[in-house]
Amino acid sequence: MMRYHLLIDADDTLWENNIYFEQAIHGFITFLDHSRLTREEVRTVLDEVERLMGYGAANFTRSLVETYRRLAEKDLRDEDVQQVRRFGEAIRTHPLQFLDGVKETLDYLFPRHDLVLLTKGDLEEQKLKVERSGIEQCFRQVVIVQEKNVATYHQVTSELQVDPQHTWMVGNSPRSDINPALAAGLKAVFIPHPHTWHFEHEEVQDAGEGRVLTLSTFAELRSHF
């Protein structure tokens, strides 16, 4: 079998991530208990704030606090603001939960292929997750970027000195993992996750026969690589 370069996403590809944000948002909206706005309308305001604040649990906590300041229907009390902070801060201390079959699949893949962990987000936060995961030894390199776009994939493949035609991006996000990688000349393995962040939703591009592989689970990689 040919030896490929596999660029592998982390959050919601290797381990659970967005589900904890969704749980925090549910708790926050319930705590806010707005008298006029629906839960969906509160979420819209939070989404707008998140676009300004950026990625990661720390920025998410700041987004919750700012949204609370904008929407609270009573005087801001320190204890209420602290409760809002706790919704976000709980994410940072949540135990890392691998998706089914991830560890066994990485053990299978890393002797056969060149694995690189490619994740986006806050540098220190992502580094801590990788350290806690205990799987860093499966990867030639860990690359943490602020954004995954076409320029990112061109830069990463150039710095790693890999041939895009023999490189696959593996991930759950059409917007960050699949479409920009395809546009940069890579191939892609799309592994949908039921709780992918809605900002990451897009239609997967029609990139031509053999360039996109869609799997149900990470463990299915063993049948193709």
Note the pLDDT tens digit of each residue in 68-113.
999 999 999 999 999 999 999 999 888 899 999 999 999 999 999 9
CA distance 126 to 56: 9
Both tokens assigned to 104: 């066994």
Is the pLDDT at 199 greater than 90? The verdict is no
Both tokens assigned to 155: 């830069």
Q: What pTM, to 2 d.p., does this model score?
A: 0.91
CA distance 222 to 220: 5
pLDDT, average across residues 120-142: 93
Is the pLDDT at 48 greater than 90? The verdict is yes
Half-sphere exposure of residue 214: CA atoms within 13 angstroms, side-chain side:
11
Looking at the domain that runs over 18-92, which CATH code has it been given?
A: 1.10.150
| From 10-14, 54-58, 59-63, 191-195, the region with the lowest mean pLDDT | 54-58
3-state secondary structure at position 42: helix
pLDDT in tens, 143-180: 999 999 999 999 999 999 999 999 999 999 999 999 99
Is the pLDDT at 208 greater than 90? The verdict is no
Contact call for residues 100 and 126 (beta carbons, < 8 A): no
Q: In the CATH hierarchy, which top-level class contains the domain 5-15+97-223? A: alpha beta
Domain spans in the chain, listed from the N-terminal domain onward: 5-15+97-223, 18-92
CA distance 7 to 96: 21
pLDDT, average across residues 119-125: 91
